Amino acid sequence: MNEWEPNVERQLRRDLAKFSRWLSRIGFTPGTAGNLSLRLDARRLLVTPTGVSKGLIRPSDMVIVDLEGRLLAGSRKVTSEIDMHVAVYHVREDVGAVVHAHPPMATAFACSGRGLDQILCQEAVMTVGVVPLATYATTGTGEVAASLLPLLPDHDAILLENHGVVCCGQTLPDAFMKMETVEHLAHLTLVAHQLGSARPLRPEQIQQLRSARRKYQENSQACSSDSETQVQAAGAATIAT
């Protein structure tokens, strides 16, 4: 390790603990349910362990695994659902973090055999799009990863039949916010159908929103690049003085 890497790992451990606690507080990880992971480097993942409440988890509880899910470091056991996380990272090189949880509304849709496949509001297009339903698979087995594989290339959020939800993102906050959004969309879908007048967006409206989303993402990336350049320039100026 380079001398700065231990500090990076410590921060990532704190981040995993922080977002785990947030998921617990909003009721998405009852008991010891759910698990989170992120890329530690090109060959390793940092993952929440099995059998620990996400509301009580500590940075020191996290385990390190390789890209096959084998334990490399940590005093606790690897989650039995590690195959699901590993599958995402193998298929999606753009993904930096994975969150699996059991948000009540979205999980109810999964338990009813229904994906969130109707685009009812603009926010859906701007965030996660259609949220498909993966076929039933026994938790803790390789079946879960296999059920996800056909859907992973085109979807950042997937319902797991009779199980829960898995979301992935470039960063841990990104994956966490997608999980929040899926639950929000499930709630909206339920209420709209209870009202009896759900009105999905038309194809041309969805296309317009997709164009708007691309522009938003381009602007966001430009802002991020500008911020990084400013930070680097400030650092160079500090060194020069």
- Just list the catalytic residues: 81
β pairing state of 97-101 and 71-73? unpaired
Counting beta carbons within 10 angstroms of the beta carbon of residue 123, is it exposed (0 to 12), middle (13 to 18) or buried (19 or more)?
middle
**Tokens at 130, concatenated:** 């259609």
The sign of the torsion formed by the CA atoms of 100, 106, 112, 118 equals: negative
Q: Sheet harboring 71-73: ordered strands across?
A: 71-73, 63-66, 44-47, 35-39, 97-101, 164-169, 157-160, 133-134
Alpha-carbon distances, residue 120 vs 24, 193, 217 (angstroms): 28, 10, 22
- Are 21 and 57 a contacting pair, CB within 8 Å? yes
